[in-house]
Amino acid sequence: MVVKRTISNINIIWPDYHSYNNDIGNDQSDPHNEDHVSNKRVASKCKYVINENGELGDGNFSTVKTCQNLITKNLYAMKLISKRTIKDKLRLVSSEINLLRFLAERTRSLESSINYGDNSHNRDTFTGHHHILQLLDFFQTSQDIVLITQLCAKGDLYELILSNTSLELEKHVKSFTACMLSVLHFLHSNGIVHRDLKAENVLFRLKNDSEVLNINDYSAHDLILGDFGLATYLNSASENTFREYVGTISYIAPEIVKCKDVSKLSLGELDKIEKYGAPVDIWSLGVLTYFMNFGYTPFDCDNDEETLECIIKADYYSDEDSVNDSALSEFWSFIRSCFTIDSKNRPTSSMLRYHPFISEYFPSTKTDTSKVTFEMNDEIENINGLEKKKSSVTSIHSLKSPVKSTSSSSLTSLHDLSSTKASTSLTKQGSTSLLNIPHYVDHQQRRKQAISRGNSLMLTSLTPLHSPIQKFNQNSTFTLDPKPPAVSLMNGCYSTNPEARPTLGDSSPRSLSNPSSSASLMRLHSNNLDHEGSEIFKSMIFGNSPPSTAPSSSNSFTKKATFQLGLEHDDENDD
Ligand SMILES: Nc1ncnc2c1ncn2[C@@H]1O[C@H](COP(=O)(O)OP(=O)(O)OP(=O)(O)O)[C@@H](O)[C@H]1O
């Protein structure tokens, strides 16, 4: 059985996750036995090798390693999502892949339409789609579902904040916030909600020639938002997607907190819970901005119940000194806007670009029409007019700081709504609830340690770029090229396990030096059958979108779909 989804111009056919799940269940009987697997399908030889010493990080469901494409010689990040670990959470993985593919397509189409020489485009310092993790390829092995993405530096924003105690407001908090706001603006205007914006998911992309993150060199890195595992389309097919209790507790909005007990509700009761939407990301942005500035998160208390209580009331911690610090007035105004309890009154990503805290990064807002200016003024009035009540000085907050969730810590917190009263309908919708519950350490203690280690911020400024076009292009690490040649991609096929090597070879993209051998991702999905490659390559590439010559029977769709996830296919396409 297949589920067919049409996302913009991409026709994605994805196997029903229940049947896929069954298939994975079979694998688990002997996941190490390739022969067992090969009884029912032929695995392609993996086109990537892993650096066995190149672990970049791990998450709740995955390990991320440096890898090299054997054909292009380019280095990428390989995210290995263990089938054993995700078991019944396949919906989240297919959703992540679908979304990343859509975003990669959207990015390519936007890039091809932007004329960088024309000042009417891209006047803002940050261009949202430049700061999203790009998916290059994906496949599955007997043990893992594998995503190949662009390579970012080891370490993330969370580690950067903790290792520096906090970040500097003028130099970094503002620019990082503006950058993430540009990403949210891009996602929201494309109908996508991320639902897990947090420091751990913000990575640093380096220029090709930099091996380690030199945060002092502005021109050598960019912020990248990753982990789209919880991201979803606003017009999601599932009735209850926006009633799921998902996210990371320190960052969730009040409207998500209200969904905490959805698993215990009857269907009638569930209907009464208001659906949430894109504003949940704005709340998380407020938490992230606050965390960058202070080095601790705003709502965390001794226990989760108290934390959730504070979130519901927007009762964030603030000490009197910082509240009265005039240098922080715009910061607090921004925070208050993000922490507007009523999501309908919370400013959108579009409106927030006008906020004085970060508006200098969005010069395009200055030349908008009078209508927009009026809305802007209105908005700023709202921002400034927000009630002052909301911050706690001596409340139940205990100044605890989050500790990064480890790969095992939140797995136990996966609640499957299928075990609930509302199970029948929710399971049908494929609904799953996921909440990462981080552990906490004593903030004061950590702060003292950081100070005694003499950690100081050495970051240079990501200042607004006033001659934006030229300078932006020079400084950005964003690039879509070189485009991987079609023959180097695996496009969802079933593969042997990637070989691990102690070191990876030369990463110069030799095969890409021959332009005729390269095909952009755009072309891979363009239904243009004139590009190079044999019919079998076309079949592989268009596995998710049948070539126009393919028979249009539902059988052929099914074959394509199963081929795409490698459930049953013959791949004659090995190297
Ligand atoms: N492209 C990349 N380049 C470098 N490091 C990466 C990349 N992708 C992920 N990482 C590292 O691996 C970690 C885990 O990745 P990711 O957050 O995607 O996994 P996850 O299992 O979905 O995590 P979560 O626990 O948030 O659900 C990240 O925190 C980051 O440190």
Say if the ipTM goes beyond 0.90.
Answer: yes
CA angle 274, 275, 276 (to 5 degrees): 115
Chain segment 546-556, per-residue pLDDT in tens? 222 222 222 22
Q: 208 C-alpha to center of ligand 1: Å?
A: 20
Structure tokens at 215: 């945060």
Residue nearest to atom 29 of ligand 1 (CA): 200
Chain segment 489-514, per-residue pLDDT in tens? 998 899 999 999 988 876 543 322 22
Alpha-carbon distance of 382 to 366, in angstroms, equals 19
Q: Does residue 134 fall inside a structural domain? A: yes
User: Does the C-beta of 144 come closer than 6 Å to ligand 1?
Assistant: no
Q: Is 79 annotated as a binding residue?
A: yes
- Clarify whether residues 176 and 248 are in a common domain: yes
DSSP state of 154: E
- Clarify whether residues 354 and 222 are in a common domain: yes
Contact 51, 505 (CB under 8 A): no
User: Does the C-beta of 226 come closer than 6 Å to ligand 1?
Assistant: yes
Contact 122, 81 (CB under 8 A): no
- Clarify whether residues 104 and 170 are in a common domain: no
**Within a 10 A sphere around the Cβ of 111, how many other Cβ atoms?**
17
pLDDT score recorded for residue 238: 80
Average pLDDT score over the chain: 68
Poorest-pLDDT segment among 161-170, 356-365, 536-545: 536-545
Chain segment 418-431, per-residue pLDDT in tens? 333 332 222 223 33
For residue 17, give the 3-state DSSP assignment.
helix
Average pLDDT over residues 441-466: 32
What HEC string does 56-102 produce?
EEECCCEEEEEEEECCCCCEEEEEEEEHHHHHHHHHHHHHHHHHHHH
- Per-residue pLDDT at 463 exceeds 90: no
Average pLDDT over residues 347-357: 94
Longest Cα–Cα distance in the chain:
71
Chain segment 79-105, per-residue pLDDT in tens? 999 988 887 777 778 888 989 999 998
Q: Which of ligand 1's atoms lies nearest the C-alpha of 226?
A: 18
State the pLDDT confidence band at 294, using cuts at 50, 70 and 90: very high
Share of the chain above pLDDT 90, in %: 39
Q: What's the domain count of the chain?
A: 2
Alpha-carbon distance of 320 to 325, in angstroms, equals 8
- Clarify whether residues 258 and 236 are in a common domain: yes
Q: Does residue 473 fall inside a structural domain? A: no
Q: Does residue 187 fall inside a structural domain? A: yes
- Which position has the higher pLDDT, 529 or 217? 217
Q: Does residue 167 fall inside a structural domain? A: yes
- Clarify whether residues 194 and 102 are in a common domain: no
The interaxial angle of helices 174-189 and 279-294, nearest 10 deg, is 170
- Which position has the higher pLDDT, 34 or 324? 324
Q: Does residue 316 fall inside a structural domain? A: yes
Q: 61 C-alpha to center of ligand 1: Å?
A: 9
- Which position has the higher pLDDT, 94 or 226? 226
User: Does the C-beta of 60 come closer than 6 Å to ligand 1?
Assistant: yes
- Per-residue pLDDT at 342 exceeds 90: yes
Sign of CA dihedral 359, 364, 367, 373: negative
Average pLDDT over residues 25-35: 40
Phi, psi of 81 (to 5 degrees): -100, 115
- Per-residue pLDDT at 574 exceeds 90: no
Q: Does residue 74 fall inside a structural domain? A: yes
Average pLDDT over residues 339-364: 93
- Clarify whether residues 145 and 172 are in a common domain: no
- Which position has the higher pLDDT, 114 or 410? 114
Q: Which of ligand 1's atoms lies nearest the C-alpha of 153?
A: 4
Residue holding tokens 């096929």? 493
Let me know if 196 is a catalytic residue: yes
- Clarify whether residues 370 and 293 are in a common domain: yes
Poorest-pLDDT segment among 288-297, 413-422, 431-440: 413-422
Q: 219 C-alpha to center of ligand 1: Å?
A: 23
Pairing relation of β-strands 48-58 and 10-15?
Answer: unpaired
CATH number of domain containing 276: 1.10.510.10
- Per-residue pLDDT at 379 exceeds 80: no
**Domain stop point among 150, 165, 197:** 150
Residue nearest to atom 26 of ligand 1 (CA): 59
- Amino acid occupying residue 10: I
pLDDT score recorded for residue 223: 92
Residue nearest to atom 12 of ligand 1 (CA): 57
- Clarify whether residues 104 and 249 are in a common domain: no
Pairing relation of β-strands 439-442 and 499-501?
Answer: unpaired
- Per-residue pLDDT at 286 exceeds 70: yes
pLDDT score recorded for residue 355: 94
**Within a 10 A sphere around the Cβ of 556, how many other Cβ atoms?**
12
**Within a 10 A sphere around the Cβ of 421, how many other Cβ atoms?**
15
Which of 23, 156, 196, 315 is labelled catalytic?
A: 196
Query: Per this entry, what is the length of the chain?
Result: 575
- Which position has the higher pLDDT, 120 or 154? 154
Chain segment 245-258, per-residue pLDDT in tens? 999 999 999 999 99
Residue nearest to atom 30 of ligand 1 (CA): 57
Pairing relation of β-strands 2-7 and 48-58?
Answer: unpaired
Mutational test site, ligand 1, from 48, 58, 64, max ligand atoms within 8 Å of CB: 64
User: Does the C-beta of 229 come closer than 6 Å to ligand 1?
Assistant: yes
- Per-residue pLDDT at 516 exceeds 90: no
Contact 81, 228 (CB under 8 A): no
Phi, psi of 240 (to 5 degrees): -110, 15
- Clarify whether residues 90 and 161 are in a common domain: no
- Per-residue pLDDT at 460 exceeds 90: no
CA angle 105, 110, 116 (to 5 degrees): 145
pLDDT score recorded for residue 514: 25
- Per-residue pLDDT at 386 exceeds 50: no
User: Does the C-beta of 79 come closer than 6 Å to ligand 1?
Assistant: yes
Contact 301, 440 (CB under 8 A): no
- Clarify whether residues 210 and 231 are in a common domain: yes
Sort 452 into a burial class: Cβ within 10 Å, 0-12 / 13-18 / 19+.
exposed
Q: 334 C-alpha to center of ligand 1: Å?
A: 28
- Clarify whether residues 216 and 86 are in a common domain: no
Residue nearest to atom 31 of ligand 1 (CA): 57
Q: Does residue 555 fall inside a structural domain? A: no
- Which position has the higher pLDDT, 478 or 192? 192
Q: Which conformational region is residue 147 in: left (phi greater than 0), alpha (psi within -120 to 50 degrees), or beta?
A: beta
Alpha-carbon distance of 150 to 241, in angstroms, equals 29
Q: Does residue 267 fall inside a structural domain? A: yes
- Clarify whether residues 143 and 182 are in a common domain: no
Chain segment 162-215, per-residue pLDDT in tens? 998 889 998 889 999 999 999 999 999 999 999 999 999 999 987 666 666 655
pLDDT score recorded for residue 399: 53
CATH number of domain containing 68: 3.30.200.20
Segments forming the whole domain that contains residue 107: 47-112+126-150
